[in-house]
Each structure stands twice: as C-alpha cells, then as structure tokens.
Amino acid sequence: MEKLKKIYDTFVASGQFVSATPYGSGHINDTYLVKADEDVEYILQKINGNIFKDIPKLVQNKELVCGHIRNRLIRQKVSDITRKYITYFYSDKGKAYHKDYDGNYWTLSLFIKGSKSYDVIPDSQIAYQVGIGFGEFENRISDFDARLLTETIPLFHNVPRRQRELKEALAKASPERIEAGKELLEYLKRFDKEMLDLQQLKDDGLLPLRVTHNDTKANNLLFDHNDHPLCVIDLDTVMPGIVHYDFGDAIRSACNTAGEETRNLNEVSFNMAYFEAFTAGFMEKAKHLFTLKEKRTLARGCTLMTYLQAVRFLTDYLDGDHYYPVTYPEHNLQRAKVQVRLLQDMEKQFDKMNQFILEQ
C-alpha cells in the first residue's frame, strides 16, 4: 500500500491518497482502484512489461486515441464527455506514465464513477448495448490516422504466428500436458487451413486495413447504471487491423452463455439471440463504414477469433502458463476447452449468422 501511495503521489492529480485495492478481471495489467479524499477515484495500472516492449509508445497510442475521441465528442456537442473516454494524468516529469525504480511503468486515469462491466452478458438487451458500444467505438476511431500508431504487439492476430507458436509449445511441452491437450489439438488441427482464409484476404489487400481495438472482450466496455454504454477501455492493443477482429472477438466473448472462465463445459453454448442483438447494435452504429466484402466475410471473424483464442490458451497451457494468470493447474486447458466448445456450437449456426449480418 505504501508503494502504491508513492506511485500515486508522482502523478499530478487532485486528492490525497486514501487506499488502493486490486480491481477488475483483466488478464494483462495489474489494476488498482485508488480512493483519494475529495471524493475522487482513480485507476492506477502497472502495464505488463513482459508483453509490451515499448510502453512509452503504448501510452502515446492511448493518449492519441483518447484525444481523438474527445475531440469528436466535443465537435458533436455530446454531454458529460469525461465519462466517455479515458482521461490520463501526467507525472511530475510531464509524462502520461511513471517509471518506477524496478523499471515498471504505471499509468493513472480517472475512474469512471458508477461504471460497471460484464464478464458474462445477462440478457439480449445488454448484448444489443454491447453492440452499440463497440459499434460506436469503431465509428469514433474510423477517421483516426493509423500512421500515428505504434504496433504494440506485432502480429497480434496473425494466424500463421499463432499456429507456429502452438507447434513450438507442443514440441517442448511435458508429456502430461501433451496428453491432456491431445483431443483439443486434434480438433483444432481440422481448422488450420480454413482459418488462413481471412488472413489471406487481408494480406492480399482485399479487406481494408482499419484502426481497430483488437481486444473487444465484453468487459472492456464500461456501462452506466442504466446499462447504457459509456466508454471502451483497455486501449493497449489499438493497432491497424481488420474489423473482423473486433466484431469477432466481441461475439466470442459476449455470446458465450457461460463466460470464458466457466469450469462447467456443459453450460457453454453460442447464444444466437445475443448474436443477433449484438450485431443489430453494432451495425446500427457502424455499418456505413463497411464494404460488401467485409460484410460478406464478417461471420468468419467470429469463428476465427474463437479459434485463435483456443489456440492461444492451449499454447499457454503447453508452455507452462507464462502469459495468462492461472488460479489452478488446468486453468488454461479449461479455458481452451471452453473456446473449442463455443466454436463447435458456432459452426452449427454459421449460415444463420452470415445471413443475419447480410440482412443488416
């Protein structure tokens, strides 16, 4: 607590430090809710230095994107704007981050009061609002100049890279873990070729390169107490990409009936009603941006992101759990099984998904 207070004190923000407590359910950064007097709250975050190699540039991305969104909101005369983008504070060295003696980087942002996020979506109405929130975000960053951004994780959703890393992890894994992951490996192998299709379209320049978020898990969208979307957070991975990544990852997370952390596989299914509600909201806000080719291939983004997530969890399991934090030994294996179960169910409804997108 003393250390967190010291870090907080290096930022120029109003209010004396009262307390700091771990907050949220993100996998990557260490997040704390800081309470200060004067009734202000902040989010203090240690950015993951194992994953992000150039954190000053990452923070610059966040500032640029938030600044862009802020300017658009001002231009559109939207009310109460400080709840609709993230405000970063500056350190006493004039940077939007603080580097501590151990070489760790920290950011301080305004806590969006009264906000909440969902790990599991409770009903179709919220699924629709998740679509509105992410669709609005795509719209707000659609005119942001991609050349200003640093690629914080190169090849983040690159399919050959993820397939190669799975193979490499398999080659080095313990016999027990190989045995435990065998069935999933076999299942995923069937998709190896077909999952390269979107990558190929992207590489051939047949899908427009856009500024995308790349981590549109449902809990990266904050809601107000009336369940209206406020703000998309976790901008660590805003980079050039294709809309399929954002649409697909949001569907992967929002339409899983049991949520990605469930220990009960039988509860996992693909919720078609949520898919329709999310898609309606997303398209309402963003469909004017998309080409016919994008719309015709969008459903494949959903299977792709679910497949990639299964590959990534399984890779981490075989590799000995270095990327995603685990709370029990089989945690990453279980997470991979959940994604595979979801993928199986999604496959069955694929034609319907495709049709629904084209009707929007």
In the complex, the residues that contact Mg ion under the rule CB under 5 A are 26, 220, 234
27 binds ligand GN1 (CB under 6 A): yes
- Min separation Cβ 236 and ligand GN1, Å: 6
Residue 253 contacts ligand ADP per CB under 6 A:
no
Q: How far is CA 248 from CA 46, 134, 300, 345, in A?
A: 28, 11, 8, 15
Applying CB under 6 A, does 163 fall inside the site for ligand ADP? no
Q: Which amino acid is at 104?
A: N
Residue 248 sits in the site that holds ligand GN1 (CB under 6 A): no
Count CB neighbours of 193 within 10 A.
8
E-state strands within the chain: 17-22, 30-36, 40-47, 98-99, 105-110, 210-212, 221-223, 229-232, 239-241
Length of the chain: 360
Structure tokens at 107: 């950011």
Angle, in degrees to the nearest 10, between helices 243-254 and 272-286: 150
* Residue-by-residue DSSP string for 113-156: TT-B--SS--SHHHHHHHHHHHHHHHHHHTTS-GGG---SSTTT
Contact residue for ligand GN1 among 63, 136, 234, 276 (CB under 6 A): 234
- Is residue 301 near ligand GN1 by the rule CB under 6 A? no
* Residues 80-99 contacting ligand ADP, CB under 6 A: 86
215 near ligand GN1, rule: CB under 6 A: yes
Which of ligand GN1, Mg ion, ligand ADP, none interacts with 106 (beta carbon under 5 to 8 A by kind)? none
Q: Give the tokens for residue 82.
A: 């400080």
Single out the residue of 89, 97, 111, 270 in contact with ligand ADP (rule: CB under 6 A).
Answer: 111
| Residue 158 CB contacts under 8 Å (≥ 6 apart), including other chains | 199
Site string for ligand ADP, 200-219 (x = CB under 6 A): -------------------x
Select from 22-30, 74-82, 187-195, 261-269 the region that touches ligand ADP (CB under 6 A).
22-30
Q: Does residue 117 touch ligand GN1 according to CB under 6 A?
A: no
The residue among 237 and 349 lying less far from ligand GN1, judged by its C-beta, is 237
Query: Counting contacts by CB under 6 A, is residue 217 touching ligand GN1?
Result: yes
Under the rule (CB under 6 A), what is the footprint of ligand ADP?
A: 23-24, 26-29, 31, 43, 86, 109, 111-112, 115, 117, 219-220, 222, 233-234, 236
